[in-house]
Chain A
Amino acid sequence: EAGVAQSPRYKIIEKRQSVAFWCNPISGHATLYWYQQILGQGPKLLIQFQNNGVVDDSQLPKDRFSAERLKGVDSTLKIQPAKLEDSAVYLCASSLDRNIGYTFGSGTRLTVV
């Protein structure tokens, strides 16, 4: 089966600019996650979708971050405006059954300068 697709792989932007990341999960996986991994730290959950509904966005900085999952399939994560501290790898993951773990995409490495 195809894996979780993410794009772009790398992005460099200036602070105060906007950026968007895209994720296409594995077909049939109802649950989709966006994680932020800052260098030296573990991945931190930003938002979790079940189909196209949000089940947890408690750690999403909603003043600048937004995410949507259209028709319960693809998802986009947007940052507007970006800050220096947003420099991180943004990982998308999907799961069919949490008892067999998550499948991750290869991530988008964002550098804000």
Chain B
Amino acid sequence: ILNVEQSPQSLHVQEGDSTNFTCSFPSSNFYALHWYRWETAKSPEALFVMTLNGDEKKKGRISATLNTKEGYSYLYIKGSQPEDSATYLCAFDTGGFKTIFGAGTRLFVKA
């Protein structure tokens, strides 16, 4: 059974804090790792699709790293803002017809 774990489950930070969370996935049958941001009452929005071990991607204040050998990815947010409050989902893509989502990390940023 392929399992994708995200931690922490939820996180409360103050505006201006930097934060990070983890996605753990199987180290075999790896094709890609996706990160999505899902704000309440909106559609999940694609942040990154990462395919290469050691890959680092950045979008504004958000960045992500990937380690396929040990099966983890970190998502970092620098200087959190209230508008960053959302659920951050990672998804493990096996390259076949399986993409398995983690349960998400709920981020709350207090002004």
Contacts and interface: CB of A to CB of B under 8 A. Distances in A.
B41 to A, nearest CB: 7
Most chain A CB neighbours (cut-off 10 Å) among B4, B99, B100, B102: B99
B89 A43 contact: yes
A45 interface: yes
Nearest to A98: B93
A99 B97 contact: no
B39 to A, nearest CB: 10
* Interface SS of B by simple majority: strand
Interface string A72-97: 00000000000000000001010000
Interface string B66-100: 00000000000000000000000101010001111
Contacts of B44: 43, 91, 93, 104
B53 to A, nearest CB: 16
A37 to B, nearest CB: 8
Contacts of A45: 98-99
Contact of B101 (A4, A40, A44, A101): A44
Nearest to A92: B43
B49 interface: yes
Most chain A CB neighbours (cut-off 10 Å) among B42, B46, B48, B89: B46
A42 B43 contact: no
B32 interface: yes
A105 to B, nearest CB: 6
Nearest to A31: B97
B49 A101 contact: yes
Interface in B2-49: 4, 6, 32, 34, 36, 41-46, 48-49
Q: Which 3 pairs across A and B sit closest by C-beta, in order of nearness?
A: A101-B46, A42-B101, A56-B97
Interface of B: 4, 6, 32, 34, 36, 41-46, 48-49, 51, 89, 91, 93, 97-104
